[in-house]
Amino acid sequence: MTKPHVFTSGIEGPACDRDGNLYAVNYARRHTIGVVTPQGDSRLFLELPAGATGNAIRFHPSGQMFIADYTGHRILRVDMQTREIDTFMEQPAMNQPNDLAVTRSGIWFASDPNWKQSDGNLWRIDENGKDELLEFGMGTTNGIEVSNDETTLYVNETVQRRIWKYDLTVDGQISYKRLFYEFTDYGLDGMRCDVEGNVYVTRFGKGTIAVLSPQGKEIREITLLGKQCTNLTFGGVDGRTCYVTMADTGAVETFRTEVAGRCWAFLHDNKGRERF
């Protein structure tokens, strides 16, 4: 979708707004957010505050942008009209907020890996920015996602190559942790669900997206052009265009899907359930 290396090798956190514009971190240099139009034109969107480095980007139902600032141990909030940035949540006890997931009621979940020790934590943040440590001493927690019906939370571990599944209540409490899927090779990075409950997982180093059914069966694997896929999101006019950030090329790749992604339906009144 973009020319190579318009983003740095730190490209991550793709997210689309309601108008179909795509955002990702580290445009041209670190500490920035770039925007790519549906036509593929890219430009600088934001300079982050001093000391901030973005990783994940997610849009709240209100349309506000939220950014996981992994060097600042905080989550930033952006007013999309004024581009003013404030701190939604800050927690020095975090290793780093890495990836984010959010419910329709505004409850957040953040993965928190410690790369040096190959372990990590899982956090919950309520709509007012109050944080709660849900689990510690996991593997290297990375990709995280809520299912479209919001009854399930998925969390993956990069080094251990596992995806865990939790039951999720309406008030954002988790229980009944069990293994959803385990890979035998390559790393895992970002994850997203579609409106039918399938889970899309970036296979960093392999250059593929694995698609898993809600029952934990691999449906298919999509081969990309690059190898170092870091994360993905859904967008386009119908929510069936998948955008993938690629660290080795500093670019965004795309492919089409049969059904819309949850993150697109989330911002469009949950449309996209129909299969094409």
- The pLDDT tens digits along the chain (276 residues) read 999 999 999 999 999 999 999 999 999 999 999 999 998 899 999 999 999 999 999 999 889 999 999 999 999 999 999 999 999 999 999 999 999 999 999 999 999 999 999 999 999 999 999 999 999 999 999 999 999 999 999 999 999 999 999 999 999 999 999 999 999 999 999 999 999 999 999 999 999 999 999 999 999 999 999 999 999 999 999 999 999 999 999 999 999 999 999 999 989 875 544 433
Nearest to 182 by CA among 164, 166, 199: 164
pTM: 0.95
Separation between Cα atoms, residue 39 and residue 213, nearest integer Å: 31
- For residue 6, the 8-state DSSP code is S
Catalogue the E-assigned strands of 50-161. 54-59, 65-69, 74-78, 85-90, 100-102, 108-114, 119-125, 131-138, 141-146, 152-157
Give the integer Cα–Cα distance in Å for 58 and 104: 12
Both tokens of residue 113? 């890996």
Contacts with 31 (C-beta within 8 Å, 6 or more apart), sequence order: 47, 48, 52, 53, 54
